[in-house]
């Protein structure tokens, strides 16, 4: 995290800065507080990260002290810390969103009940309902509206920056705590040019007397008081009412703070800010970033004489009725209240209810005189989960207000063809952006640096030209090969357009293949400039474009420029990073800055960014700037479409109907157009859809050499995306094999005479290289070649696609056909998790994939929120799939914090179902056959063949039940499948298991229920960007531990073993594949709780993940990750229940510390500390190993005599 | 001055005696450096700053930190970026400064690289950071069929000339033994501005694992057998080239050291001995050499230095090709 900070004027005062909303807020919160408690949650994490980075760098607050920043185990924990710090008399703050805010609610009631000055900053985000969403709406904030907090909404980066200090000033005086919120991503992640609030402004805003009073109320044994009493029916009610005067005074105090702020900065705000026609008849009323867009529309409509206006609600609670009424023009006839949240079953959403009640109440007060007739109020819901509120939507609202009979309730931005409550949008009315603005849109890949380049451009324009600059970035939900779309606006400020660009003057396509997948030129304005990164000579570019794209170019008279940025990047040593090249071309093609000045500014930026990372990168980027403009050429556009190639379909025509109708639309980036009726009503989605999304993102794919192959299947096990597979099958199957399909006799004692094929899925492979790295077979003549070798995808993809299709049709092997289910055998089983969006080289997915191979047809997965819930369950497609019989993992994600409890619930439910089924079977034994009933009830169905036999018996039971009448028979029919044991797995990361969900995990382990827990331990919060967890090892740098963690990782295994009755194991597939398979099977078979902690390489470790298996081996060899098993059943046999499954450390921790960026960061920041932490880590590893060795010798039961 | 007089002149530096640690991890932390000084090291030679290592680490870090960044909405980066984090030579310079401040003896900074790129500029910073001298370790293996010996030598000479222009402090060049005309090259290097030569660099020899079909780097500490190669070339060079010489690689006892000094070494660098037995072993080495001199009635080291070099030894042919014949003739087939 690079704290940017403001541009400093010559006189030392800060003036303008180009920052995102999170930084704009954090910079104020940090400077005006003393204790900061944090926990990562999207999209608020960067605020905590910045605070932590500043604190670690020793930056001081307004009073010259460095705030104490502490990361807690959950938001509940952070709220507790804040509450305590406030009670101690400190100035404290926190940052959160969504589920995090919900976890803070109990403390918020307390903090407000105790009238505590406090501001928390919330990047408002959707609360998970039928699905999780990381995007923005006000459902989280509205869930806090009963806490007693003041709710203050800002709508832009500038406002967020300003309100952060206004809130702090007001709370100190009013004693009413403030929840300051702004829209997640739209404001938190939007970069915009703002006027910076200097330390002087902040100091002038804060009332030192009020701070002293707050401190004076802090708990101290020198003047002891008691807070947090328990009160009884005689007194609680009255005491609760005692706070009322403070709430009555609160709005006035806030307005005074606004006024003071206006004096200091010239920026004036009110509790309710009206903008528009002074005699408006139609007014839209809303909170947050949407108000900026409405403002823009109103401005345009006013210009054409329309009597419309917008009322921004700044302070939602306490709702100041009189201020509200007076803020509206008396001429208003109709008001549309727009809520960005949904409260099913309510008369209306919260802002609407508040407005209606306020208007009603105004009738009974002196404000009555404000109106001749009370305006009519209608309610609109918009923007759930960051759904766009664009000018067209706003126009539709004003149009509705002008209708003869406006709908009382409606939605905007979607097509609701079920409830018919959505407004129709006239797209032609959408173009209202002020003239003189440059709008540019860039399509790129996450890995090519497009977003970084655009952030740099925004800074250059925003800070050098006096123009305002705005940037907003859209990312897809994939972690490998993700597409990014950058929306940049430049012009005379302020830029209020809080919606995506709909018509761009400049369109850049940084990866030409995206033209085949996305409607890129749809967004180009007529005559727009288009910049392509094309791997062809400019003369060839036109011919390479699909027909549809050529047509668009001609229709819109677009000017096309191209540069072979990839080749140039390779030439200057930048690999796939084309950012500098494309940025240079952007400046060359636009007149935002004189070219040389722009390029010089780029050079400065590169020096800032890469300077401390070394001169080599700086030099290469300079070279790229120099050559980029030279290589840029205009593409000559002929008069007619000439290409015969059409865009390929996004999904195969063979895909199921739902995939064609719904998924394909989402894949095309047009999910916004899907109507309500397209969707399941309760969040239930079909599995098995990832196979229809063919992204073909790998530049090189593994190609099999059957001669060299030893048929060990290690590559298959290690593949994170199930993109390389092995099958053994009868030779007759080859009769219909496509030409060139490779096969070879299977060389193993079992399954004699069968044929073996190893096959790549060429469009699903991410090109991570892991398979080749784990391949142990080398060509003895040329050991550089292995049994699989990475080769250019373009040369092999078409042929391998046909081969893979044929391969999929080859029969699958059943577990019962295998003599041994070990690392090799398990890989002949069909993976029921495939082609996920996980990172290339992901270290987690191989474990889950293995689970689905071993137990997939009876697997129930409870998945904690995190990486595994994102690549496992983030739409548009789903990697979990089914076998030929239609069975496969059933998967659900409840929350981050409750996964152990949620999984236990699933277990209890399957147990209960099975108990009922068994009882019913006993009762109906006479009707279905005593023998069959006895067989089913007495079956040992724990191993694969037992499961198969039981399934067969259940099938017979169903037949026997045919024609049996009665309620019990009906019930048994429904529950019969539950007579086959389910395998319940609780899956999640270390953030869940070690931190936020530990209490529940611990509790579930303390019971006897048969749940299996798989912890995918990356030793860091991976999904939110590498924050420290209690699994982070001593010596590693992580966010919130940037100087290197100085406490060893929690030994979760040892803690779990302390119960004695739970199965516990630690595994690492890259170190010992057979051990991994054996442990998962033992854990599953263990009749009580089992905990498997699986080491998972992650991009947050910082090394080439193709070496993930090697690194796992090093983790084991160095003692940093001992492999062990604790099996209580062994104790019953008189054996030590604990077994070490690895040798004593044979290499030092240096073998890891010298190799991974997470440790190297510490060395390159503070070599002394690195040495000290390394030495301590070495000692700790040795100490722990001794403890394990001792334990391995301990027999807990008495020896049998 | 203690008796016998062990003082020596190395690279124009007046040293109390010739014994010092060679470039190695021994100087990586301040504690170990203090122990070396306590053990009486005449100078501290720092661990090497490697050209490739700097570049590789920059590259690797860029890949690890920048490539996954800015591509996923929930995680715009995956690593902290702490204050002081840098991948250039700053930490090495800081190490020079701190060692300079901590010890009274000369501090010789060590630079390991072969190309004449901008990175050489760091030598200027070495001087500013307080290095007393610079040792340039030329560790180069040419594997290119089109590169001639003269081209390699010319590049090396240019490198030295470039460095000489950059800094005023003494400059030693640490060479490998694999040059066709080492004496000629040595002369050119001295003419190009080097003040001395360090003989020889020890290559880490790659080994082959025939089971795994892999090439593995191997790292073995030296032993006395490696000294003989050094003695020969010290003797040949010191007799003909006016410059300072240091021996490194193979000195494990007082007698080893005496031999190297007699062959013409002005300084004796030890690494393996100290890695095996600790920095304190240096004290013993010095004392044993002093005792040897006393026992053999040398009043000062200078009486012995170079006494057995090519120009002064009784049988210069022994250092040359004739040596080969003599040994072969004396060789008898084992029964």
Distances (CA, A) of A215 to A11, A90, A448: 35, 6, 51
Listed residue (A292, A334, A281) closest to A186, CA to CA: A292
Rounded-to-integer distance, Cα A690 and Cα A213, Å: 59
- pLDDT (0 to 100) of residue A1200: 46
Residues of chain B found within 8 Å of residue A1157, distances taken between Cβ atoms: 60-61, 64-65, 79
The predicted model scores a pTM of 0.94
| CB atoms closer than 10 angstroms to residue A633 | 15
Contact call for A1157 and B61, based on CB within 8 A:
yes
Q: What is the pLDDT of residues A385-418, one digit of tens each?
A: 999 999 999 999 999 999 999 999 999 999 999 9
Please report, to the nearest 10 degrees, the dihedral formed by the alpha carbons of residues A566, A568, A572, A575 taken in order. 0
Out of A614, A839, A1025, whose CB is closest to B74?
Answer: A1025
3-class DSSP state of A1180: helix
CA atoms within 13 A on the CB side of A880: 28
- pLDDT (0 to 100) of residue B328: 52
| Chain B residues with CB within 8 Å of chain A CB | 28-30, 54-55, 57-88, 91, 95, 118-119, 213-214
- pLDDT (0 to 100) of residue A365: 85
Q: What 8-state DSSP symbol labels residue A6? A: P
- Positive or negative torsion for Cα B194, B197, B198, B204: positive
| pLDDT at residue A784 is higher than 80 | yes
- pLDDT (0 to 100) of residue A683: 95
* Interface confidence: ipTM more than 0.95: no
Rounded-to-integer distance, Cα A101 and Cα A97, Å: 5
Out of A612, A1037, A1160, whose CB is closest to B80?
Answer: A1037
Rounded-to-integer distance, Cα A1070 and Cα A1085, Å: 23
| pLDDT at residue A113 is higher than 50 | yes
Rounded-to-integer distance, Cα A303 and Cα A298, Å: 8
- pLDDT (0 to 100) of residue A202: 97
Q: Provide the β-strand partners of residue A531.
A: A508, A561
- pLDDT (0 to 100) of residue A612: 77
- pLDDT (0 to 100) of residue B118: 65
What's the length of chain A? 1201
Q: What is the pLDDT of residues A846-868, one digit of tens each?
A: 999 999 999 999 999 999 999 99
Phi, psi of A556 (to 5 degrees): -100, 5
What stretch of H or E contains A1130? helix A1128-1132
| pLDDT at residue B325 is higher than 60 | no
The most confident of the ranges A1049-1053, B153-157, B295-299 is A1049-1053
Residues of chain B found within 8 Å of residue A612, distances taken between Cβ atoms: 85-88
**Residue tagged 């000017």 (tokens):** A559
Nearest chain A residue (CA) to B59: A617
- Span A186-215, mean pLDDT? 97
CA end-to-end distance (rounded Å), chain B: 55
Cα A950 versus chain centre, distance: 41
Contact call for A475 and B87, based on CB within 8 A:
no
Take residue A384 and report the two structure tokens written for it. Answer: 């759930």
Please report, to the nearest 10 degrees, the dihedral formed by the alpha carbons of residues A73, A58, A1165, A1020 taken in order. 10
A1129 is catalytic: no
pLDDT-based confidence at A442, cuts 50/70/90? very high
Say if CB A558 and CB A523 are below 8 A apart. no
Residues of chain A found within 8 Å of residue B73, distances taken between Cβ atoms: 42-43, 134, 185, 189, 475, 477
Nearest chain A residue (CA) to B98: A1168
Contact call for A449 and B66, based on CB within 8 A:
yes
Contact call for B58 and A1, based on CB within 8 A:
no
- Positive or negative torsion for Cα A932, A936, A940, A944: positive
Residues of chain B with pLDDT > 90, as a percent, come to: 62
Q: What is the pLDDT of residues B264-281, one digit of tens each?
A: 999 999 999 999 999 999
Rounded-to-integer distance, Cα A1033 and Cα A1017, Å: 11
A42 is catalytic: yes
- Span A332-339, mean pLDDT? 98
- Span A1139-1152, mean pLDDT? 96
Q: What is the pLDDT of residues A1103-1112, one digit of tens each?
A: 999 999 999 9
Rounded-to-integer distance, Cα B257 and Cα B252, Å: 8
Smallest CA–CA distance, residue B65 to chain A, in Å, is 7
What stretch of H or E contains A490? strand A483-491
Classify residue A727 by burial, with Cβ atoms within 10 Å: 0-12, 13-18, 19+.
buried
- pLDDT (0 to 100) of residue A9: 46
Listed residue (A621, A697, A687, A220) closest to A446, CA to CA: A697
Distances (CA, A) of A1018 to A1015, A1026, A1068: 9, 9, 11
**Residue tagged 């705590």 (tokens):** A177
pLDDT-based confidence at A11, cuts 50/70/90? very low
Contact call for B71 and A482, based on CB within 8 A:
yes
| pLDDT at residue B239 is higher than 90 | no
3-state DSSP of chain B: CCCCECCEEECCEEECCCEEECCCHHHCCHHHHHHHHHCCCCCEEEEEEEHHHHHHHHHHHHHHHHCCCCCECCECCCCCCCCCCCCCCHHHHHHHHHHHHHCCCCEEEEEECCCCCHHHHHHHHHHHHCCCEEEEECCCCCCCCCCCHHHHHHHHHHHHHHHHHHCCCCEEEEECCCCCCHHHHHHHHHHCCCCEEEECCCCCCEEEECCCCEEEECCCCCCHHHHHHHHHHHHHHHCCCCCEEEEECCCCCHHHHHHHHHHCCCEEEECHHHHHHCCCHHHHHHHHHHHHHHHCCCCEHHHCCCCCCCCCCCCHHHHCCHHHHHHHHCCCCCC
- pLDDT (0 to 100) of residue B335: 46
Q: What 8-state DSSP symbol labels residue A639? A: S
- Span B156-161, mean pLDDT? 94
What stretch of H or E contains B35? helix B30-38
Out of A1, A612, A870, whose CB is closest to B87?
Answer: A612
Out of B69, B75, B84, whose CB is closest to A1165?
Answer: B84
**What rounded mean pLDDT belongs to chain A?**
95
**What rounded mean pLDDT belongs to chain B?**
88
pLDDT-based confidence at B324, cuts 50/70/90? low
Listed residue (A272, A419, A289) closest to A342, CA to CA: A419
- pLDDT (0 to 100) of residue A8: 47
Classify residue A707 by burial, with Cβ atoms within 10 Å: 0-12, 13-18, 19+.
exposed
Say if CB A928 and CB A899 are below 8 A apart. no
Q: What is the pLDDT of residues B12-44, one digit of tens each?
A: 999 999 999 999 888 888 889 999 999 999 999
Q: Provide the β-strand partners of residue A150.
A: A178
DSSP letters, A777-793, are -B-TT-TT-BSEEEEEH
Say if CB A121 and CB A149 are below 8 A apart. no
pLDDT-based confidence at B213, cuts 50/70/90? confident
Q: What is the pLDDT of residues A979-1025, one digit of tens each?
A: 999 999 999 999 999 999 999 999 999 999 999 999 999 999 999 99
Alpha helices by DSSP H, listed for A114-216, are 139-142, 157-174, 199-205, 208-216
- pLDDT (0 to 100) of residue B310: 83
Take residue A514 and report the two structure tokens written for it. Answer: 């995206």
Which of A18-32, A897-911, B194-208 is predicted with the least confidence, judged by mean pLDDT? Answer: B194-208
Residues 6+ apart with CB under 8 A from A636: A538, A539, A542
Residues of chain A with pLDDT > 70, as a percent, come to: 98
Phi, psi of A848 (to 5 degrees): -65, -40
Out of A46, A614, A1099, whose CB is closest to B88?
Answer: A614
Please report, to the nearest 10 degrees, the dihedral formed by the alpha carbons of residues A938, A941, A946, A949 taken in order. 60
pLDDT-based confidence at A14, cuts 50/70/90? low
Out of A58, A477, A1161, whose CB is closest to B79?
Answer: A1161
Catalytic-labelled residue, pool A31, A125, A217, A695: A125
Say if CB B282 and CB B36 are below 8 A apart. yes
- pLDDT (0 to 100) of residue B82: 80
- pLDDT (0 to 100) of residue A293: 96
Q: What is the pLDDT of residues A576-610, one digit of tens each?
A: 899 999 999 999 999 899 999 999 999 999 988 88
Say if CB A642 and CB A542 are below 8 A apart. yes
Take residue A632 and report the two structure tokens written for it. Answer: 């840029």
Residues of chain B found within 8 Å of residue A610, distances taken between Cβ atoms: 62
pLDDT-based confidence at B87, cuts 50/70/90? confident
Q: What is the pLDDT of residues A883-939, one digit of tens each?
A: 999 999 999 999 999 999 999 999 999 999 999 999 999 999 999 999 999 999 999
- Span A792-806, mean pLDDT? 96
Nearest chain A residue (CA) to B119: A615
Q: Where are the beta strands (DSSP E) in chain B?
A: 8-10, 13-15, 19-21, 44-50, 107-112, 133-137, 171-175, 196-199, 206-209, 214-217, 244-248, 267-270
Contact call for B88 and A615, based on CB within 8 A:
yes
Residues of chain B found within 8 Å of residue A1038, distances taken between Cβ atoms: 79-80
Q: What is the pLDDT of residues A256-282, one digit of tens each?
A: 999 999 999 999 999 999 999 999 999
Give the best residue of A483, A1102, A1172 to mutate against chain B (max B CB count within 10 A).
A1102
Catalytic-labelled residue, pool A454, A1023, A1032, A1076: A1023
pLDDT-based confidence at A4, cuts 50/70/90? very low
- pLDDT (0 to 100) of residue A10: 43
Say if CB A904 and CB A1009 are below 8 A apart. yes
Take residue B121 and report the two structure tokens written for it. Answer: 């500029």
Q: What is the pLDDT of residues A58-99, one digit of tens each?
A: 999 999 999 999 999 999 999 999 999 999 999 999 999 999
Q: What is the pLDDT of residues A940-980, one digit of tens each?
A: 887 888 999 999 999 999 999 998 999 999 999 999 999 99
Smallest CA–CA distance, residue A260 to chain B, in Å, is 36
Smallest CA–CA distance, residue B14 to chain A, in Å, is 32
A75 is catalytic: yes
Q: What is the pLDDT of residues A744-767, one digit of tens each?
A: 999 988 888 999 999 999 999 999
| pLDDT at residue A287 is higher than 70 | yes
Contact call for B75 and A1025, based on CB within 8 A:
yes
- Span A785-805, mean pLDDT? 96
Listed residue (B100, B27, B16) closest to B283, CA to CA: B16
Out of A1024, A1158, A1164, whose CB is closest to B86?
Answer: A1164
Rounded-to-integer distance, Cα A675 and Cα A420, Å: 10
Say if CB A72 and CB A998 are below 8 A apart. no
| pLDDT at residue A12 is higher than 50 | no
pLDDT-based confidence at B91, cuts 50/70/90? confident
Smallest CA–CA distance, residue A440 to chain B, in Å, is 18
Smallest CA–CA distance, residue B118 to chain A, in Å, is 9
Contact call for A1104 and B55, based on CB within 8 A:
no
Give the best residue of B46, B52, B78, B97 to mutate against chain A (max A CB count within 10 A).
B78
Residues of chain A found within 8 Å of residue B67, distances taken between Cβ atoms: 447, 577
| pLDDT at residue B1 is higher than 90 | no
């Amino acid at each position: 995290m690079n704290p940017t900070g403001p541009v400093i004027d010559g006189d030392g005062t800060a003036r303008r800065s180009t920052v995102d909303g999170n930084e704009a807020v954090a910079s104020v919160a940090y400077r005006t507080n003393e204790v900061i408690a944090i926990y990562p949650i999207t999209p608020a994490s960067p605020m905590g990260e910045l605070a932590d980075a500043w604190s670690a760098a020793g930056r001081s607050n307004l009073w010259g002290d460095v705030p104490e920043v502490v990361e807690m185990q959950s938001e509940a924990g952070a709220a507790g810390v804040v509450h305590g710090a406030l009670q101690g008399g400190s100035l404290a703050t926190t940052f959160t969103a969504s589920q995090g805010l919900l976890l803070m609610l109990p403390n918020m009631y307390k903090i407000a009940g105790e009238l505590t000055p406090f501001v928390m900053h919330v990047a408002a985000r959707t609360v998970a309902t039928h699905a999780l969403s990381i995007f923005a709406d006000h459902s989280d904030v509205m869930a806090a509206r009963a806490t007693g907090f003041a709710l203050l909404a800002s709508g832009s980066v500038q406002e967020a920056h300003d309100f952060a200090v206004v809130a702090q000033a007001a709370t100190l005086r009013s004693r009413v705590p403030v929840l300051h919120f702004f829209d997640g991503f739209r404001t938190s992640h939007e970069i915009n040019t703002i006027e910076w609030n200097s330390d002087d402004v902040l100091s002038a805003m804060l009332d030192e007397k009020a701070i002293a009073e707050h401190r004076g109320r802090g708990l101290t044994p020198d003047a002891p008081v008691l807070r947090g009493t328990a009160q009884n029916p005689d007194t609680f009610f009255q005491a609760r009412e005692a706070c009322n005067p403070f709430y009555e005074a609160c709005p006035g105090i806030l307005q005074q703070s606004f006024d003071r702020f206006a004096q200091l900065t010239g920026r004036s705000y009110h509790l309710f800010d009206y903008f528009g026609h002074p005699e408006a008849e139609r007014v839209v009323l809303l909170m947050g970033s949407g108000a900026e867009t409405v403002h823009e529309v109103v401005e345009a409509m006013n210009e054409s004489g329309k009597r419309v206006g917008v009322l921004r609600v700044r302070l939602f609670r306490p709702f100041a009725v009189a201020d509200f009424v007076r803020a509206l023009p008396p001429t208003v006839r109709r008001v549309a209240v727009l809520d960005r949240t949904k409260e099913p079953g309510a008369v209306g959403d919260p802002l609407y209810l508040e407005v209606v009640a306020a208007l009603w109440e105004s009738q009974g007060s002196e404000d009555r005189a404000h109106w001749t007739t009370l305006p009519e109020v209608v309610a609109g819901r918009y923007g759930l989960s960051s759904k766009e509120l664009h000018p067209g939507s706003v126009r539709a609202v004003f149009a509705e207000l002008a209708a003869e009979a406006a709908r009382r309730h409606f939605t905007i931005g979607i097509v609701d063809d079920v409830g018919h409550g959505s407004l129709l949008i006239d797209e032609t009315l959408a173009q209202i952006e002020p003239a003189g603005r440059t709008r540019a849109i860039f399509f790129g890949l996450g890995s090519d640096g497009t977003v970084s380049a655009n952030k740099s451009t925004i800074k250059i324009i925003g800070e050098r030209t006096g123009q305002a600059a705005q940037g907003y970035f859209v990312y897809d939900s994939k972690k490998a090969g993700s597409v990014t779309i950058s929306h940049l606006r430049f012009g005379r400020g302020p830029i209020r357009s809080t919606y995506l660009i709909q018509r761009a003057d400049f369109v850049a396509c940084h990866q030409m293949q995206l033209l085949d997948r996305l409607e890129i030129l749809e967004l180009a304005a007529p005559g727009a400039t288009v910049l392509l990164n094309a791997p062809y000579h400019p003369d060839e570019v036109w011919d390479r474009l699909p027909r549809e794209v050529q047509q668009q170019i001609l229709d819109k008279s677009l000017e096309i420029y191209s540069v072979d940025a990839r080749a140039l990047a390779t030439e200057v040593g930048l690999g796939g990073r084309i950012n500098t090249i494309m940025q240079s071309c952007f400046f060359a093609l636009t007149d935002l800055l004189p070219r040389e000045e722009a390029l010089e500014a780029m050079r400065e930026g590169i020096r800032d960014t890469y300077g401390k990372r070394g001169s080599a990168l700086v030099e290469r980027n300079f070279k790229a700037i120099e050559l980029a403009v030279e290589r840029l050429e205009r593409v000559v556009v002929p008069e007619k479409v000439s290409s015969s190639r059409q865009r390929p379909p996004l999904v195969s025509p063979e895909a199921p109907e739902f995939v064609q109708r719904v998924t394909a639309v989402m894949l095309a980036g047009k999910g916004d157009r899907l109507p309500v009726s397209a969707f399941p009503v309760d969040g239930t989605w079909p599995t098995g859809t990832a196979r229809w999304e063919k992204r073909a993102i790998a530049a090189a794919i593994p190609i099999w050499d059957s001669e060299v192959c030893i048929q060990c299947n290690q590559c298959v096990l290690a593949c994170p995306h199930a993109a390389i597979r092995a099958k053994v099958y009868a030779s007759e199957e080859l009769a219909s094999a496509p030409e060139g399909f490779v096969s070879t006799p299977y060389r193993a004692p079992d399954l004699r005479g069968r044929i073996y094929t190893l096959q790549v899925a060429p469009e699903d492979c991410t090109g991570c290289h892991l398979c080749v790295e784990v391949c142990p077979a080398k060509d003895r003549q040329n050991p550089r070649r292995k049994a699989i070798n990475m080769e250019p995808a373009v040369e092999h993809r078409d042929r391998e696609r046909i081969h893979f299709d044929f391969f999929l049709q080859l029969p699958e092997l059943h577990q019962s056909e295998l003599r041994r289910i070990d690392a090799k055998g398990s890989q002949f089983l069909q993976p029921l998790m495939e082609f996920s969006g996980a990172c290339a080289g992901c270290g987690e997915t191989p474990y889950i994939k293995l689970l689905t191979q071993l137990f997939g047809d009876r697997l129930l997965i409870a998945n904690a929120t995190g990486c595994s819930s994102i690549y496992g369950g983030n739409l548009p497609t789903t990697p979990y799939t089914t076998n030929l019989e239609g069975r496969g993992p059933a998967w659900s994600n409840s929350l981050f914090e409750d996964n152990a409890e949620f999984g236990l619930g699933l277990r209890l439910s399957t147990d209960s179902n099975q108990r009922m089924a068994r009882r019913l079977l006993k009762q109906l034994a006479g009707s279905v056959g005593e023998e069959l009933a006895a067989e089913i009830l007495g079956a040992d169905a724990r191993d694969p063949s037992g499961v198969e036999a039981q399934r067969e018996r259940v099938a017979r039971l169903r037949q026997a039940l045919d024609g049996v009448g009665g309620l019990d028979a009906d019930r048994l029919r429904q529950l019969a499948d539950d007579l086959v044991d389910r395998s319940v797995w609780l899956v999640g990361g270390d953030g869940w298991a070690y931190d936020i969900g530990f209490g529940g995990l611990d509790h579930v382990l303390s019971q006897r229920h048969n749940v299996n827990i798989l912890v995918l331990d990356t030793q860091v919060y991976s999904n939110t960007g590498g924050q420290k967890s209690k699994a982070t090892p001593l010596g590693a740098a992580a966010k919130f531990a940037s100087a290197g963690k100085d406490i060893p990782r929690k030994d979760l295994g040892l803690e779990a073993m302390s119960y004695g009755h739970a199965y516990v194991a630690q595994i690492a597939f890259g170190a010992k594949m057979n051990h991994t398979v054996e442990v998962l099977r033992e854990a599953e078979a263990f009749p009580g709780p089992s905990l498997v902690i699986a080491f998972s390489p992650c991009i947050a470790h910082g090394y080439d993940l193709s070496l993930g298996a090697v690194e796992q081996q090093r983790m084991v060899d160095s003692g940093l990750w001992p492999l062990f098993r604790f099996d209580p059943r062994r104790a019953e046999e008189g054996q030590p229940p604990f077994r070490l499954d690895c040798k004593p450390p044979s290499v030092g921790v240096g073998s890891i510390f010298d190799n991974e960026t997470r440790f190297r960061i510490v060395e390159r920041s503070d070599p002394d500390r690195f040495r000290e932490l390394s030495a301590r880590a070495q000692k700790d590893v040795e100490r722990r190993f001794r403890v394990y060795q001792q334990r391995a010798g301990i027999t807990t039961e008495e020896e049998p005599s | 001055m203690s008796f016998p007089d062990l003082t020596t002149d190395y690279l124009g530096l007046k040293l109390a005696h010739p014994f010092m640690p060679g470039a190695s991890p021994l100087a990586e932390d301040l504690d170990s450096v203090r122990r070396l000084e306590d053990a009486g090291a005449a100078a501290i030679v720092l661990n090497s700053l490697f050209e490739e290592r700097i570049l590789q680490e920059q590259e690797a870090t860029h890949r690890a930190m920048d490539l996954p960044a800015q591509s996923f909405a929930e995680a715009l980066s995956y690593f902290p970026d702490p204050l002081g984090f840098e991948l250039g030579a700053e930490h090495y310079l800081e190490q020079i400064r701190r060692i300079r401040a901590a010890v009274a003896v000369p501090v010789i900074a060590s630079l390991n690289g072969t190309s004449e790129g901008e990175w050489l500029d760091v030598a200027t910073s070495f001087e500013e950071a307080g290095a007393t001298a610079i040792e340039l370790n030329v560790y180069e293996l040419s594997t290119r069929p089109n590169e001639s010996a003269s081209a390699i030598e010319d590049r090396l000479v240019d490198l030295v000339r470039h460095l000489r222009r950059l800094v005023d402090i003494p400059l030693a060049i640490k060479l490998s033994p694999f040059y066709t005309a080492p004496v000629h090259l040595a002369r050119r290097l001295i003419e190009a501005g080097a003040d001395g030569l360090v003989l020889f660099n020890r290559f880490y020899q790659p080994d082959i694992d025939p089971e795994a079909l892999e090439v593995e780097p191997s790292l073995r500490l030296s032993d006395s057998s490696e000294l003989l190669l050094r003695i020969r070339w010290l003797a040949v060079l010191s007799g003909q080239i006016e410059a300072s010489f240091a021996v490194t690689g193979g000195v494990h006892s007082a007698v080893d050291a005496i031999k190297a000094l007699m062959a013409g070494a002005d300084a004796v660098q030890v690494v393996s001995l100290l890695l095996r037995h600790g920095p304190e072993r240096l004290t013993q080495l010095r004392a044993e050499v002093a005792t040897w001199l006393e026992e053999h009635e040398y009043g000062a080291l200078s009486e012995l230095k170079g006494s057995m070099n090519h120009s002064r030894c009784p049988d210069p042919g022994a250092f040359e090709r004739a040596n080969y014949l003599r040994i072969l003739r004396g060789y008898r087939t084992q029964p």
